[in-house]
Amino acid sequence: MSTSLIGARVARKEDYRFLTGTGQYTDDVALPRQTFAAFVRSPHAHAVVRKVSTEKASKAPGVLAVYTGADLAAAKVGGLPCGWLITDVNGNPMKEPPYPPLAQGKVRHVGERVAVVIAETQAQARDAAELIEVDYQPLPAVVDAAQAARGQALHEIAPDNTCYVWALGDRNAVDAAFAKAAHVTKLDFVNNRLIPNAIEPRSANATYSRADDSYTLYVASQNPHVERLLMTAFVLGLPESKVRVVAPDVGGGFGSKIFLYPEDVVVTWASRQLARPVKWTSDRSEAFVSDAHGRDHVTTAELALDKEGKFLAMRVRTTANLGAYLSTFSSCVPTILYATLLAGQYTTPLIHCEVTAVFTNTTPVDAYRGAGRPEATYVVERLVETAAREMKIDPAELRRKNFIRQFPYQTPVALCYDTGNYDATLDAAMKIADVDHFRDRREQSLRRGKYRGLGYACYIEACGIAPSNVAGSLGARAGLFEAGEIRVHPTGTVTVFTGSHAHGQGHETTFAQVVADRLGLGMDQVEIVHGDTSKVLFGMGTYGSRSIAVGGTAIVKALDKVIAKGRKIAAHLLEASEADIEYDRGEFKVAGTDRKKTFGEVAFAAYVPHNYPLDKLEPGLNENAFYDPANFTFPAGSYVCEVEVDRDTGAAQIVAFTAVDDFGKVINPMIVEGQVHGGLAQGIGQALTEMCAYDGDGQLVSGSLADYCIPRASDLPLFKVDTRETPCTHNPLGVKGCGEAGAIGAPAAVMNAITDALGVKDVPMPATAQNVWRAMHRSA
Amino acid sequence: MHAFQYHRPSSSKDALALAGQKSEGRYLAGGQSLVQAMKLRLSSPSDLIDLGTIKELAGIKVTGGALEIGAMTRHAEVAGSSDVRKAIPSLAAMAALIGDRQVRHMGTIGGSLANSDPAADYPAAVLALNATINTNKRKIPGDQFFKGLYETALEPGELITSVTFQAPKRGAYMKFRNPASRFALVGVYVADFGGGNVRVGVTGAGASAFRQAEMEKALSSKFAPEAVASIKVKPDGLNNDLHASPEYRAHLITVMAKRAVEAALK
């Protein structure tokens, strides 16, 4: 191969099956003697469960079993664990209330599981579930995060509904800097709660074998090994070796499929009780109330500047709504993944952030595309843009005055950026967006009855999660390395096993490009395998844009071992010194000669070792590697959004959106562009359309797609996307990750554009037509 | 969805007979609302009487200044009909805005009116175009058809057979969509029949569609956008939900009316 596969627009290998309907998702898995589960869910946000009557349901046609929280408690099934311990400002551990898979004594959010019916068919299970009578004694619901401390306690362990109060930074130094500031910009806002809505709803199908006392769980998960670890070690008390978890094709996750969910535990446990496979697949209505939600912060943020516009300090107070229970990684999202990003792209020397995390009678909140980093970017970029307007400095200019330009750069909030070039992305974005002629476009819009606005967002994110020692010191209860294995077959083809998991990202193509490029093989000689604990040696899964940076690096490390062993084998075959063997695009060569062996010949020799140094070298060509990153990676970029607002109705339309990202080295630009487009769509959805709303009783008002608006293609402009590369300094591919960027940077860019269009300080997110109309009339 | 019995009569007579026998049964027209409700287990009819193969219920006829549309005529047929486009172009344009492509090819005018969803489009047209709802029993003037939230003048078992619209001199429908469902947050249909006879039908804003008298009066003296632009609609009694308060809906009625008049004059 003469041209590199790195940077090539290779068509996605996996798309054939996705586009022809031949993908195999969890719900497609049909096992012999299959049974079906239906969950009875609480209609109340907060209630005492006085009695659950299951007699009628038990006798209904096709019903095999009905279980309640009492059955699980009697079987000593544990509660769901939280994977990250946050230590509060007083040095105390966060409050960790029990999270039983089926309610015990109380329900704490609409949609909480109270009982499960297992029947021969899905329809029979659902029909019987309606026959279960639950005697509830409703309690006052706590819905508003800002008022949670004064509400009725959800959990005994947290009488003030506070999980923790946590802080980062030097409060006194920050306060002193504010006292001396020439200008202070202050904003109060809500970062709106979002409901993920992956196109494939969650699904789990568990089967138990009495023959060897083992379980297999098929589940729509982003990280099957972590699912297994949490379920076996913390909930069911089983040896991991007895449980196989398979996450087959998964139709989108966006974070919502990272977590261990009660349904997964219940079907796994029930499969042994019945000695039959038990399947549950969520419908869309269940997904709205039972998939972990995202965001939901109430924040007061302040930026102190000197008279030239240099940032002196930032002060942030956030109340984070965790929902009713601690979902798997909920505790680290508004803390470790949020406050650490508040430096953004700037040299702000002093930052203090205090986060109060509260329980409310709402669906649990956890990581959702970006997880903490969109919230941080929103704080920083709304503050910076607002400060520029208040000080009458051009917003791009104010950013440039404060950009970090020396790397590595240690922020005051614990991160050390290895590399970046923020001027490069901003310059490119402004040029592509034609910012110079914005005023002309604004005038043209005005003639058509539209207010036009332009907004920037210059975001940074910390990806490649994470150096395990750093994560551990911050409370992580798991390692965050990744594993990879290269299995070279006797014919010279390669199967790659990765602990990363693809649920739309295109790993089967991107990872194959890395491997094929490094070995000098064709794309069709490399197969990527993921998502099965019985095949992949270990894995921590996919989230936080970590797959290429951490998972890809583990693969590269294993590849290096394969090549190293191959050189030994080739040296023997070529009767040369190992030191003289070079590997170049599929051939082991003796340096300076034309003597060589192909990769295939070496692989064959490894498995048919007729002529092989068996006294010095094991046969076979199969290597694995674990990789724990030395640092986070720091993708960054500049976004420019232009909106038009209908001055009669308040409806906002995005008319142009430019995104210039620095993801380090790009393996497949086409896939990266797709990731950016999808991220932007989700970020724009948060900014404009996605309105999650509970009423005062804790009922989810936006409980279906008829009320919860996910943006359609027609709501979005043709994105202009480009990249600039500063390669990551601490992984061999120089990659940083691209999965979340769009969702991180877009909301601030959109809201900066809308507030610019209207000439107002703030508009609540999402900027629906009504919210914009109200903002216009408030200012009028 | 709960279990139900499915029937497919080939005539209105058979359909009516079945409806008489099955007290918990429901007519199935396009199924774009009923089937959704059944899937959510919010509606559980014992029997579904599918009207889809009854020939006499479908079709479009033009007679003089009136347009008669069979109850089982799909929205896409109305939108694409050259007869409708010629007789009442604003009605064809309105039908083309209903739901999405799938809904327009399944949903029917009779089903939509019988359901009387407060945010459906056709009710605005019925009021603005002075329509008559023809049933197996009688002719119901459009003005007397809508009785409240999902409530109509139809009696149990009564079947809409067709709808007769009067062709105006000019007219237009303007819809401000619910961003999620794409139903009308507010939809306003303006029809000018000449001689100072202007009718304004509003949907999406109240429990059911209604006429806006103040606008009709203003437009009757002068059919121009500025005649309605400054009318402040009272928000009392208008719908209040996640997407729009009564005040915002009241404001949108004025904006959509103004734009409908602009469009009608184009």
Nearest chain B CA: its distance from A679 CA (Å): 19
Which residues lie below 8 Å from residue B89, measured CB to CB, with a gap of 6+? none
* Chain A residues near residue B3 by CB distance under 8 angstroms: 123
Nearest chain B CA: its distance from A648 CA (Å): 7
**How large is the average pLDDT for residues A164-176?**
98
Whether residue A361 has pLDDT greater than 60: yes
As beta bridge partners, residue B187 has: B175, B203
* Chain A residues near residue B101 by CB distance under 8 angstroms: none
Taking the Cβ of residue B240 and every Cβ of chain A, the question of whether any pair is shorter than 8 Å is answered with: no
Q: What is the mean pLDDT of each run of 10 residues along chain B (266 residues)?
A: 95 96 95 95 96 96 94 98 97 97 97 97 98 98 97 96 98 97 97 97 97 98 97 97 97 98 97
- Give residue for tokens 């008049």: B261
Minimum Cα–Cα distance from A695: chain B residue: B242
d(CA B236, CA A231): 55
Locate B65 and state its tokens: 């200044």
Interface test with A, best of B243, B253, B254, B258 (most A CBs within 10 A): B243
Quote the mean pLDDT of chain A: 97
Interface test with B, best of A646, A709, A716 (most B CBs within 10 A): A709
Locate A374 and state its tokens: 């969109």
d(CA A314, CA B41): 52
Nearest by CB to A770, from B183, B243, B255: name it: B243
d(CA A236, CA B46): 43
Whether residue A360 has pLDDT greater than 90: yes
d(CA A118, CA A190): 41
Question: What pTM value is reported for the model?
Answer: 0.97
Residue (of A588, A409, A558, A397) closest to A485 by Cα position: A558
Instruction: Give the pLDDT of residue A779.
Output: 60
- Give residue for tokens 């961003």: B179
**How large is the average pLDDT for residues A57-74?**
98
Nearest by CB to B242, from A123, A651, A691: name it: A691
Q: Do the bridges between strand A350-359 and strand A311-323 make them parallel or antiparallel, or are there none, so unpaired?
A: parallel
**How large is the average pLDDT for residues A418-434?**
98
d(CA A526, CA A169): 48
Nearest chain A CA: its distance from B94 CA (Å): 19
Restricting to B residues 19-78, those with a Cβ less than 8 Å away from any Cβ of A are 40-41
Instruction: Give the pLDDT of residue A201.
Output: 98
Q: Yes or no: say if A188 and A300 are a contact pair by the CB < 8 Å rule.
A: yes
Taking the Cβ of residue A774 and every Cβ of chain B, the question of whether any pair is shorter than 8 Å is answered with: yes
- Taken as a whole, chain B contains a residue count of 266
pLDDT digits (tens, 9 = 90+) for A284-332: 999 999 999 999 999 999 999 999 999 999 999 999 999 999 999 999 9
Minimum Cα–Cα distance from B250: chain A residue: A649
Q: DSSP code of A158?
A: B
Taking the Cβ of residue A780 and every Cβ of chain B, the question of whether any pair is shorter than 8 Å is answered with: no
Nearest by CB to A706, from B41, B180, B245: name it: B180
Nearest chain B CA: its distance from A283 CA (Å): 10
Q: For residues A479 and A747, which has the higher predicted lDDT (pLDDT)?
A: A747
Q: Yes or no: say if A362 and A151 are a contact pair by the CB < 8 Å rule.
A: no
Nearest by CB to A707, from B176, B180, B255: name it: B180
d(CA A161, CA A86): 16
d(CA B161, CA A556): 71
Instruction: Give the pLDDT of residue A436.
Output: 98
**Residues of chain B with pLDDT > 70: what percent?**
100
* Chain B residues near residue A706 by CB distance under 8 angstroms: 178, 180-181, 183
Taking the Cβ of residue A468 and every Cβ of chain B, the question of whether any pair is shorter than 8 Å is answered with: no
* Chain A residues near residue B2 by CB distance under 8 angstroms: 127
pLDDT digits (tens, 9 = 90+) for A34-63: 999 999 999 999 999 999 999 999 999 999
d(CA A387, CA A183): 8
Taking the Cβ of residue A706 and every Cβ of chain B, the question of whether any pair is shorter than 8 Å is answered with: yes
Nearest by CB to A649, from B1, B3, B255: name it: B255
C-alpha distance from residue A3 to each of A7, A244, A326 (Å): 10, 40, 49
The pLDDT-based confidence of A1 (bands split at 50, 70, 90) is very low
Whether residue A224 has pLDDT greater than 80: yes
Element (H, E) at A597: strand A596-598
Q: Yes or no: say if A104 and A69 are a contact pair by the CB < 8 Å rule.
A: yes
Whether residue A156 has pLDDT greater than 80: yes
Secondary structure of residue A312 in the 3-state scheme: strand
Minimum Cα–Cα distance from B254: chain A residue: A648
As beta bridge partners, residue A622 has: A487
Q: Do the bridges between strand A482-488 and strand A162-169 make them parallel or antiparallel, or are there none, so unpaired?
A: unpaired
* Chain B residues near residue A649 by CB distance under 8 angstroms: 176, 252, 255
Nearest chain B CA: its distance from A709 CA (Å): 4
As beta bridge partners, residue B152 has: B146
Taking the Cβ of residue A156 and every Cβ of chain B, the question of whether any pair is shorter than 8 Å is answered with: no
Interface test with B, best of A286, A770, A772, A778 (most B CBs within 10 A): A770
**∠A22-A23-A28 over CA atoms, to 5°?**
95
Indicate if the alpha-carbon torsion angle B85, B91, B97, B100 is positive or negative.
negative
**How large is the average pLDDT for residues A613-631?**
97
* Chain A residues near residue B243 by CB distance under 8 angstroms: 707, 768, 770
* Chain A residues near residue B4 by CB distance under 8 angstroms: none
Neighbouring C-beta atoms of residue A536, cutoff 10 Å: 22
Taking the Cβ of residue A211 and every Cβ of chain B, the question of whether any pair is shorter than 8 Å is answered with: no
End-to-end CA distance of chain B: 47
ipTM above 0.85, yes or no: yes
Locate A654 and state its tokens: 């995005």
* Chain A residues near residue B239 by CB distance under 8 angstroms: none
Nearest chain B CA: its distance from A195 CA (Å): 14
